[in-house]
Chains A and B, each alone.
Chain A
Amino acid sequence: MTSAQTLTADAPLPEVVGTEKLLLTLVALGLLLLLPAAFDADAYRAHACFYAALALISAGTLGWAAWKYGRRPPGVHHHNLWLRASTSRGAVAWITGIVLTGFYVILYWFSNPDDQGNFGPLNQLVHALDPVSQWLRNRPSDQWFLYGTFYTLAILLMGGRALWKYRHSPYHLIRTGSLIFFQLGFAFLLPGLLLAFQRPEFYFSYFWPLKQEYLFPGTVSYLLKDGGPGLGVFMVFWTAVISFVGVPVLTYFFGKRWYCSWVCGCGGLAETAGDPYRQLADKSRTAWKWEVRIIYTVLVLIVLLTALLWVGASGAVPALEGITQPLSQAYGFAIGSVFSGVIGVGFYPLMGARVWCRFGCPMATYLGLLQKHFSRFRITTNGAQCISCGNCSNVCEMGIDVKQYAQRGEPIIRASCVGCGMCSTACPRGVLNLENGPRDNRYQASPLISADSLRILS
């Protein structure tokens, strides 16, 4: 009798040879060096460890990617993902998840500076970045600068890996390049430069309702005041225009992907650092039911909250005065910190890289509603060529069971699809293609296959 466990547990694994071991050891050493960098009492030695760690991690990761993917001819392969502990919820994955989650807990709740400017357990790591922060932002580092640096570095290094891995596909090369560009330019350098010029730290690549406070009355008045008459007005204008005009227009032409897998920083981390974990997204109908329950709730919450804050700020309902602030803090804690950070990234190695994008992000929900109902985007199924192999579903980081549509010859039009294009890349029969076309007959299935009309999602 066949047991699924036997097939996977007993499967042969290729030997990990010396070069790969060496390169991975460099990465591991780099990660270990972060411990003395954080806790060594000698500040000079700690700083040296910090930069040595970054150098080892960078060299190891890029070298490993070049070795692993550069040695073989270009082409997609996802071999051994479900056989290695690190990418199949094994011990390594659990340890990685716990370390990542722990880092977020410390970052959010135990690293606020005290009166002496001490950043808790992260203090030495934060101060190790002082020279960089001074150079870029003309001010000392803080815990958020440390976080931003790590985040950007992860996208750069793992982006380099993605470029190697998917180098046969111009779509992935250009898309990964775009993600790296927006993270480095719009989410790291530009906000730093704004600070250097005594302007509000502002991320031009994040919008309401993902960056919910950008349309809160408090932030708007702060931007208008501190941004100065020109820049501050532009920042508020930019947020409002993209949120209410840019999003519908761009999504109409290109689908949700223009943002989620080309621009967004959360998407940027998921597509690069999260690429080894994309197969972990749960494809079951049960998961889909939870997704629908949670994600629309979050969108409703943030729309209500924003409206409430504006009503409160207008002073029309004095009773709101004491309520709006705690409500906004509660949302920031539960959704902004716990959901998008601790769970969203901490659970990468266990639940896949798009947990936040799939279950929580109100921006993704908003874009998704537009994509489903007011967009030219769809993933076309090529006639009757599908063999139900499941590679498309396996690589879908949003947990869409893509093959359910492909094996019935139907186009895939799902609110959650972020258009990363990986299903099309992984398909061994060339069946799937991301296309923008007229909205008429967008749901039309191929005439070459008779779709069974049995229930899939309900």
Chain B
Amino acid sequence: MHLVIIGNGITGVTAALTVRRLQPGARITLVSAESAHHFSRPALMYVYLGDMRYQDIKPYEDWFWAENRLELVHATATGLDAAVQTVQLDSGAVLSYDKLLLATGSRGRRGTWPGSELTGVQTFVTLPDLELMTRDTRQGVREAVVVGGGLIGVELAEMLAAKGIRVTILIRDTRYWGSVLPPEEAALVQRQLDAHHIVCRYGAELQEIVADETGRVRAVRTTTGQELPCQWLGLAIGVEPNLDLARAGGLETDKGILVDAHLQTSAPNVYAAGDCAQLREFARGEVAVEQLWYTGRQQGETVGHTLCNAAAPRPYRRGQWFNSAKFFDLEYQTYGRVPAEPVPHEHSFCWQHPTREALLRINFRADTLAVTGLNVLGLRQRHDTWAAWLRAGTPVTEVLANLGAANFDPEFFRQYEKVIVASFNQRFPQHAVQLRRRKGLFRV
């Protein structure tokens, strides 16, 4: 079998590694326009910050690919002929495949604002984006504006602020990451933004980008009528799937490349996974286009199994939700589902330290008390333990009694289990809990 994978991000590479493991004899070719080798996309910011070099954010050393017989092609795939099963490259070469996986990822959304093509205006998703930002913020940037109150927005703010650039973030919502974070969590993140002198303009949207005489961004005008001077503008309003190749091949697309439960596209022997794929059917509470590192890895692994065993294809199952992030110095982990707004028939217990930056929220069903989700900020919780609790629908009383088992903070860190349980007992006296397990996986 010759498997051709377009895209060497986490999805394409996970699929390649899965296939290599299951089918040692398969020929596997990875094509990427973006970089010669796989790198960690969430780590791009650390290269800009100078924490690491580009070679340090490659998950595997360069010898890894040849030793595992993974052929790398650094070129742009420009054409796809699903009828004769070939892919055309911009180098002029044509690759024949038995199976094709499109893992083309996504790019930053640019919006339709006047002036969005000016120098110093960009998104931040890809390696070329990093190069552009490195070049354009090298000198002469005193003020920058970032549009978008999500994860990439706060990343950009941290990157720019570390270089001594004054940053203003325009956030359409009334609080930070309002579509995901409940108000208490958003307020705690806000404390981080304030402590790092990031100015946030809530309820403000971008209206127009103003150029100077050289064609570089000079200022932005907001919908609230303000003009903010800036020499660099970051657009962090989300990402959109890369569909050029799929469209060129005549595949069915919508927002993304449409795939069935086995991640197969409308063409035979052509699959799509990761950021670029759009599930035709998906469970309630889930989304059709998943654009996360973790979901990309899961989809890559699932499609890898299907590619190796077409007779018994493996359907993609999202599984339990989890995610994590870091807002400046504040770590965030979430397991299960914690919606930004209250859910009927669910209680939401939120504990917060009065002064320190530590917060824990547990959502649970009002009837069975089964836990449905966890948010923590400034605390580390054990993924395996929470996955088991959520899968089993463990009652919140049982979870709190054993909360120490899920504590993943380093040794000597302050332990909050006692005050958390006390706070729960105060709020839900009818379900009062006795703390049984203090910190430690192995100690009761």
Interface residue ranges, A against B (CB under 8 Å)? 2, 4, 6-8, 10-15, 72-84, 168-171, 174, 279, 283-285, 380, 382-385, 387-391, 393-394, 403, 407, 421, 424-425, 428-430, 433-438, 446-450, 452-455
Overall SS of chain A's interface: loop
Verify A12–B138 contact, CB threshold 8 A: yes
Shortest distance between the CB of B316 and any CB in chain A (Å): 14
| Given A8-B53, A79-B51, A174-B412: A454 and B59 interface contact (C-beta under 8 Å) | no
B331 touches A170 (CB 8 A): no
Chain B residues contacting A390 (CB-CB under 8 Å) are 40, 43, 46, 52, 56-59
Question: A82-B52, A389-B40, A390-B52 are contacts. A446–B384 as well, Cβ < 8 Å?
Answer: yes
Q: Which of B10, B17, B51 contacts A452 (CB 8 A)?
A: B17
Is B324 interfacial (CB 8 A cutoff)? yes
Residue of B nearest to A80 (CB): B50
Report chain A residues within 8 Å CB of B329. Answer: 73-77, 168
Interchain Cβ contacts under 8 Å between A and B, 20 examples: A2-B35, A7-B130, A8-B54, A72-B196, A285-B61, A382-B408, A383-B383, A384-B297, A385-B294, A387-B43, A388-B57, A390-B46, A394-B51, A429-B324, A430-B408, A434-B410, A437-B441, A452-B18, A453-B21, A455-B68
Q: A7-B134, A11-B138, A433-B409 provided; 6 other pairs, C-beta below 8 A? A: A7-B47, A8-B53, A12-B138, A77-B51, A170-B413, A448-B384
B292 and chain A: residue at smallest CB distance: A387
Q: Which residue in A10, A80, A421 is a CB contact (below 8 Å) of B49? A: A80
Taking CB atoms, residues of chain A closer than 8 Å to B162 are 14, 77, 79-80
Contact flag A7-B54 (CB < 8 Å), given A421-B410, A450-B301: yes
Interface string of B53-96 (1 = CB under 8 A from A): 11111110101100110000000000000000000000000000
Q: In the complex the two chains form, is A388's CB within 8 Å of B324's CB?
A: no
Q: How far is the CB of A413 from chain B (nearest CB, A)?
A: 15
In the assembly, what is the distance between CA of A449 and CA of B58, in Å?
19
By Cβ-Cβ distance, the 4 closest A-B pairs, closest first, are A383-B383, A75-B329, A389-B43, A83-B50
Q: How far is the CB of A452 from chain B (nearest CB, A)?
A: 4
**Bound-state Cα–Cα, A250 to B404, Å:** 25
Residue in B54, B61, B192, B384 whose beta carbon sits within 8 Å of that of A4 in the complex? B54
A387 touches B56 (CB 8 A): no
Residue in A8, A84, A279, A385 whose beta carbon sits within 8 Å of that of B324 in the complex = A385
* Interchain CB contact (< 8 A) of A383 among B46, B51, B53, B387: B387
Find the A residue at minimum CB distance from B14.
A452
Cβ contact within 8 Å between A11 and B59: no
Contact across chains for A384 and B383 when beta carbons are under 8 A apart = yes
Nearest B-chain residue to A173, judged by Cβ: B412
Q: Does B282 contact A (CB under 8 A)?
A: no
Q: Is the CB of A391 within 8 A of B59?
A: no
Contacts of B311 in A (CB 8 A): none
Which residue of B has the minimal Cβ distance to A433? Answer: B408
Choose one: B56, B63, B134; the contact of A10 (CB below 8 Å): B134
B42 within 8 A of A: yes
| One of A81, A384, A450 near B50 (C-beta < 8 A) | A81
Interface magnitude class on chain B: 35 or more
B442 within 8 A of A: yes
Q: Is the CB of B21 within 8 A of A452?
A: yes
Give chain A residues whose Cβ lies under 8 Å from the Cβ of B27.
none
Assuming the contacts A390-B40, A391-B51, A430-B331, asked whether A384 and B131 have C-beta atoms less than 8 A apart, the reply is no
Tell me the bound Cα distance from A314 to B247 in angstroms. Answer: 86
Determine if B328 is an interface residue (Cβ-Cβ < 8 Å): yes
Q: Are A382 and B410 in contact (CB under 8 A)?
A: no
Which of B50, B294, B413 makes the CB contact (< 8 A) with A11?
Answer: B50
B134 and A387 within 8 A (CB):
no
Residue pair B413, A389 in contact (C-beta under 8 Å): no
Q: How far is the CB of B302 from chain A (nearest CB, A)?
A: 10
Q: How far is the CA of A2 from the CA of B52 in the complex (A)?
A: 16
Cβ of A169: which chain B residues have Cβ within 8 Å of it? 410, 413
Chain B residues with CB below 8 A from A407, complex form: 59
The B250-296 residues at the A interface (CB cut-off 8 A) are 293-294
Separation of A447 and B127 alpha carbons in the complex (Å) = 32
Contacting residues, chain B, for A425 (C-beta < 8 A): 410
Residues on the A chain within 8 Å of B444, using CB: none
Option from A2, A72, A75, A171 in Cβ contact (under 8 Å) with B54: A2
Chain A's closest residue to B412 (CB) is A170
In the complex, are the beta carbons of B163 and A2 less than 8 A apart? no
B197 to chain A, nearest CB (A): 10
CA distance A168 to B331 in the complex (A): 13
**Residues of A with C-beta under 8 A to B349:** none
Task: Specify which chain B residues have a CB less than 8 angstroms from the CB of A7 in the assembled complex.
Answer: 47, 53-54, 130-131, 134
B55→A4 contact, CB < 8 A = yes
Chain B min CB distance to A4 (Å): 4
In the bound complex, CA of A430 to CA of B330 (Å): 10
Is the CB of B418 closer than 8 A to any CB of chain A? no
- Are A170 and B135 in touch, CB under 8 angstroms? no
Q: Which residues of B contact A279 (CB under 8 A)?
A: 52
- When the two chains form the complex, which single residue of A4, A447, A449 contacts B53, counting CB atoms closer than 8 Å? A4
**Interface check B382, CB cutoff 8 A:** yes
C-alpha gap A15/B139 in the complex (Å): 11
